[in-house]
Amino acid sequence: MAKKSSNGLVLERNLTQQDFNKKKNSRMKNIKIVFLLIFAVANIGQITAGNPDRQGEAGAYELLLNPWARSAGLHTLNTSFVKGVEAMRLNVAGLSRINKTEVLIGNARLFEGTGILLNSVGVAQRMGENGTLGLSLMAVDFGDIPVTTTDIPGGTGATFSPNFFNIGIAYSHIFENKISVGVLFRAISESTADIKAFGFGVDAGIQYVSGENDNFKFGISLRNVGSPMQYRGPGLSFIVNSQELPQDNGLAVSTEANRFELPSLLNIGISYDFLIGMKNRLTVAGNFTSNSFSRDQISAGVEYAFNEIFMLRGGYRYDIGQSLTALDRNVYTGVSAGASAEIPLKKGSSNRLGIDYAYRFTQPFNGTHNIGIRITI
């Protein structure tokens, strides 16, 4: 056996020490970035923070509704490990944690018995090695609502349906597969035939992954920070009849609607993956949500995955400070559950077709059902 020279041993030790120093410096740099981002997001969260006394003062509450089944099955508590298209609804930093392309279609039967539907579609596309661009659209379908007037309270026979629609464009960047950051810009539109409101919102988030097998995950997201909205249009004008005016004439009165804020909130989530054998994963997760216009919430959940093909999940959400009366409870306080199945499109390929389902208990109504179809390339 050939022996190494002393110079060769010294060189090998120097190279090993250099690699160690590089990894150490990179790790320290990542940790510094995480703490800086946490500090920045936390301070923004303090600025937007509110209290339960402001409940009902915000608008555009459709921004709090989750149309995606996979995260809905966990009561939208997976701030730390949500990824792909669904991340644009919870923590946009997870958008970049995909292979190449993801397309997702979602439908939710909101508050079963009301006839309200959520329809959504989203796409995420990898841009280069570390960046990902995303686009998401969501619309609320209220069905046909009878038109009533003060003179005909029983209905005129006509119907209308409000148009609630929002579109988001997002970008996420990942650093060395450990830290990912993201930002999303969203346009919000609410309208009927004679009245409308329009606004803009911004989401931002970070995710940090650590551990020998990337078991530990941590995430922070700030959502729905943006411009106030205000309704405008001819629907805010009406005719007032008076005995002092001629019979066929009336007084036109125009009113101005108050402005309202977006329902901003701050999410802080943590999770840990327990790897059992080569094919089983059990993830335990927790989340804290600070709402600007309602009570803060805590939630916890678990997800079991077999070979990342079949998944079962469940969660529980609780409003801090809520009373025991039903009238004081959030509609989504309680239990959620869901399941997913992913089918390889080709043997030995990472391309998959997935089907997701979720059910969330509601009080009142008969729960919310979510279903989603995803294509991963």
Question: Quick check: is 53 in a domain?
Answer: yes
Q: Which stretch of DSSP H or E encloses residue 38?
A: helix 6-48
How many structural domains is the chain composed of? 1
Per-residue pLDDT of the chain (377 residues; tens, 9 = 90+): 444 555 554 445 454 555 545 555 555 555 555 555 555 545 544 444 445 656 667 889 999 999 999 999 999 999 999 999 999 999 999 999 999 999 999 999 999 988 999 999 999 999 988 999 999 999 999 998 898 887 888 888 889 889 999 999 999 999 988 899 999 999 999 999 889 999 999 999 999 999 888 999 999 999 999 989 999 998 888 777 666 555 556 667 778 888 999 999 999 999 999 999 889 999 999 999 999 888 889 999 999 999 999 999 999 999 887 766 655 667 888 899 999 999 988 877 788 999 999 999 998 888 999 999 999 98
Cα(162)–Cα(232) distance, rounded to whole angstroms?
14
Task: Name the pTM for this structure.
Answer: 0.82
**Longest CA span, the chain:** 116
Question: Quick check: is 8 in a domain?
Answer: no
Q: Is the dihedral of CA 146, 142, 198, 227 positive or negative?
A: positive
Q: Is the peptide bond before 52 cis (omega within 30 degrees of 0)?
A: no
Question: Quick check: is 242 in a domain?
Answer: yes
Question: Quick check: is 47 in a domain?
Answer: yes
Domain of residue 358, CATH code: 2.40.160.40
Question: Quick check: is 247 in a domain?
Answer: yes
Whether the CB-CB separation of 90 and 99 falls below 8 Å is answered with no
Question: Quick check: is 291 in a domain?
Answer: yes
**Structural domain span for residue 130:** 22-376
Question: Quick check: is 275 in a domain?
Answer: yes
The 10 Å CB-count burial string (b at 16+, else e) for 326-344 is eeebbebbbebbbbbebee
